[in-house]
Structure 1
Amino acid sequence: MKIIIHRGIDQIGGCITEIATDNAKILIDLGQNLPDGEGIVNDDFANFDAIEQITKGIDVIFYTHYHGDHLGLFHLVPDSISQNIGKVAKRVALCKHQRLAFIKDRKEQSEKEIAKIEAMQSFESQQILKVGDIKIIPYFVSHSAYDSFMFLIEANGKRILHTGDFRGHGYLSKGLLPTIEKLILKQGKIDFLITEGTMLSRLDERVRHENELKSEVIELMKEYKNVFVMCSSTDMERLATFHAANKEMKARPFVCDDFQKNVLEIFSDSAGKKSALFDFGEPYAFWKENDKLIQWMQDKGFCMLVRATDKFNDYIEFLLPLLEKDKTILIYSMWKEYVNPKSKHANKKYLDFIDNFPKLSKIHTSGHASADCLADVCNLVNPKKGIIPIHSENSADYKKLPIKEKLKDKIITETKTIDDMIIEIKRTTNRQQRTELKNKQY
């Protein structure tokens, strides 16, 4: 049996993990590298030849969630290979790519992507899936993408837990440790834990629960009548924070565009049937000719979801002159480094967009597990043979976590064989990184 980390060691995003026996091979995620501050993606794997090589002999690809750094190369996969994703995650991914089809000169590409997503198989939490002699069981986790999963993989007498991306401070996070303890470990011990480590570079950062954010947003909404919100369009739990806060204001419309409205309808139709917190009701889709809505917004105030796009630049240019400046604010609820001009992660579109607003407030918490949460999962799982950290800028920093000393000795960041298991760690250097290295040398 073999575990191959094609990509994910010492980088965030672009995750690709292979698990293989003599009779079957699966991939967990086929992610694209994250874009730079200009929105440009540098990825040597983003071509048919590279993906044909990586997927050679693969029977099925399972996706932990719909973020591009886990799903982004799906459109390059040969049609002969089955691709599988969560039932609701499939709907969200399809909605997103249907919207991308409206971008100029992208229609043909989007049509191909939509066809690939429509052909994907979907699964639900705790559904038993089999690929040859490999058994896969998905378990729901809270993340900034709804319908995210960790996978329990069993084959050849070995048990592997692949966590995907997860967190312990969302509305839906309370089931994380009980799921591991009562559903996964009761079936038997785990041999290898493959887990994310996004927050390893921010070990001292205190993460806040979504409930804390909601309280802070309510106070801002009491102070400011006109509230614009810039956050992920598909982070259901964050969207619920703003929607719930806006309901406290009474009579204020919750406004978005038609794409966001479609995403919210998907969430209401799924999670909203289980909890009123995720029932977004009837949000109002904005357009400049909707005089009745605009008058309501001027009279009572509003909460409006916005994005850093040309369309929303046009909306903002139209709306701001109609509003009282001292009662207007933008709440930025994404990673702070995107709007830090001195950061290597700075996003020019984001910076230009937030400059439009008279007042800015940053209210955010990570979609990823804190250092303490990572340690809790490692200590609870207590794998017999190894911990393989991925989705982190420096996976060796896992040893800095407050985990048991014996577990620190089991952290695997280089290729090795343990008993009859081969753990192959591949380190890839993309084109941009190679150029930077070459410039440093000369």
Structure 2
Amino acid sequence: EMVGSLHKINTVDWWILVARPRHAAYRQLWTSLGIMAVTLAATTLAAFGVAMILTRRMSQRFESLAEHAQLVTRGGEAADWPHSTIVEFNALADSLQQMSESLHERARLLEDEIAERQHAQEELHEKALLLEQEIGERVLAEQNLQVKQAQLEALNLTLEARVQEELAKNREKDALMIQQGRLAAMGEMLSNIAHQWRQPLNELGIMIQTLRLEYDDKLLDGRRIDEFTDDCMRTILHMSKTIDTFRDFFKKDRSLQQFDPSVCIVATVELLKASLQAAGISLRLDLQPECLLQGQPNDFSQVILNILNNARDILLARAVATPVITVTSQQAQGVLVIVVEDNGGGIAADIVDKVFDPYFTTKHKAQGTGLGLYISKKIIEGNFNGTITVEHCPGGTRFRIAVPVRIAETVHGESD
């Protein structure tokens, strides 16, 4: 019950016990430990609160950018892009605003071009009717048969030239539609970047909190500072790589190149990885490397992006319990076959033949333009001399792309 010590007095050969009750002896020690525990808890909560506030502010900035980007994707004009005191954030906001203005300007030009094409088609139709009427008059007017026949031949020559001109205009229209599809995909990619950056930003916030705690605990030294710097730089480089991949995907390079389609597929998947993970969709890749194709890598990436976006949207719309997208590639007899398969329940039989038609979509107008698969078909057939088909598979839909590789192999052999 007592805590104390014995002391001997030699002169009288006595032992003196100096003691006090146990609870009184340890009261000051427990009081000190309680004060230290409360102080440590309060400091930790304060640091965590500050870190959460800073992280929330950064997240709000990027959510604001994502909202403006989605507004642009839906066809609206997003003015007054958010700015802050962060230079890099302001630079990104300015770039996105310039891109938005360019997108609306190109959309306006495309609308004007479509109106001109429609007007030209109406004029051509009217002239065709006049031509039929003129032919009927020639049959009735036998006395002017030779003169009318010469006029008919001249009109036929003119008609052929006009047909060639319209064909050239249609090719230009297809090119504009492909560009429109790429711009629409750009808006979706901005949302993907927001998803892609959330995790690195959270990691930076956690590392900053950890650094403060280690500083308070006197655990910081040169080695720990170097480790912290390396971790932060790796996270920042990962975010920078995301921007570089996004920029390369939309780079305007129309020169023919030899490229490995498996590399293009992996790069495209990286752009969609964050949105797929956020949706809980598993992606399985089984790609055969070192199969060279001849063409524009960005066009090929756009085809893969359109198909993956469609698969993701159908899996989300139908709330599949275990959503999975599988991408495989295999070369056989000079043909590279790429298969993209999902388990979203498949396409209805009455619309399966329409999925590649222009402006055909099962989505709301605000969510889809109906150009993605049409553009993909034009790219595969026109630029790669291949085929793209869609069919039912057990529990889902299967897109099959077949592209001949003999052209790429021939060019490669000549260069060697």
For normalisation by structure 2, the TM-score amounts to 0.22
Q: Which structure is larger by alpha-carbon Rg, 1 or 2?
A: 2
Higher relative contact order (CA 8 A, sep 6+): 1
For normalisation by structure 1, the TM-score amounts to 0.21
Structure having the higher strand fraction is 1
